[in-house]
Every structure is written in structure tokens, then in C-alpha cells.
Homo-oligomer: A and B are copies of this chain.
Amino acid sequence: MFTIGQIAARTGTKVPTVRYYEGIGLLPEAERTAGGQRRYDRAALDRLGFIRHARALGFGLEDIRALLDIEGHGDAHAIAERQLRDVRDRMARLARLESELARIVGSCAGGGGTGPCRVLEALGDHDACAADH
């Protein structure tokens, strides 16, 4: 049996987060000692590990709930594919952002340059942007 601090440490979670997961029903209610403290078995540890790994891969808690609820096959593949599409969308949007920002920052030479800073001006001027955002 593990204390909440132990499963938190083993999965790289903060203690209040573990309680939060229990509160929203992602983790089952833990057993308690006579004094009211939570104690966990290996199954709970593994479940928390799964949750944290899926979080690290960018899944939202509702997706994770769905993944954990799956008995047979069915939805897991679709959820993962959707997540992959989401990540790729975000990458594309970030790439457009990055190119505008790089242009804006590059529009003046920086603190030590000769002229005044053009950054503020460039930030206000969407007409100079190439992509939509």
C-alpha cells in the first residue's frame, strides 16, 4: 500500500492533483486508514501513471476518461487520431505565428541598433502580416 505522497512522487504528480483526480472521478475513491488517510494499491498507481502519461501527450481529461472507460476496442483509436490531428493543427498555427513574430522582431536591430525600435509599430500593423491569424 502506498500513501498519496508516494504515488504522487512515483508518477510525477503533485499531491493536490491526485486528490483532484479523485474528486472528478478519474481515480476511484481510495481506501482509508482508521485516521482517514488515503492508501493506494498497485492498480491505482498504474491508473495514475496512465493518466499522467496521456496528459503529457496532450490529451484532455475528458478524453482520458473515455480512454479509461473503454472495455473493448472501438474508440481508443479514434480518440488518439483526433488528438494527433489537433496537435498537427496547433503546430501549423504556431508555425504561422512564429514567422510573423520573427519578422516583427527582426524589423529593428535591437537595443543596441541605430534607429528607434520598430517592434511596437509592427505589432499594431496586421496589414504587413502574410498569414491569417
Chain A residues within CB distance 8 Å of chain B? 46, 49-50, 53-54, 56-58, 67, 70, 73, 76-78, 80-81, 83-84, 87-88, 90-91, 94-95, 97-98, 100-102, 104-105, 108, 110-111, 116-117, 119-120, 123-124, 126, 133
Contacts and interface: CB of A to CB of B under 8 A. Distances in A.
Q: Is the interface of A mostly helix, strand, loop or mixed?
A: helix
Given A70-B120, A77-B119, 19 more contacts: A46-B124, A49-B124, A49-B126, A50-B123, A54-B123, A56-B126, A56-B133, A57-B97, A57-B101, A73-B116, A73-B117, A77-B108, A77-B111, A80-B104, A80-B105, A88-B98, A90-B94, A91-B94, A91-B95
7 contacts: A49-B126, A50-B123, A53-B123, A54-B123, A77-B105, A77-B110, A80-B123
Given A76-B117, A111-B77, A117-B73, A101 B123 contact: no
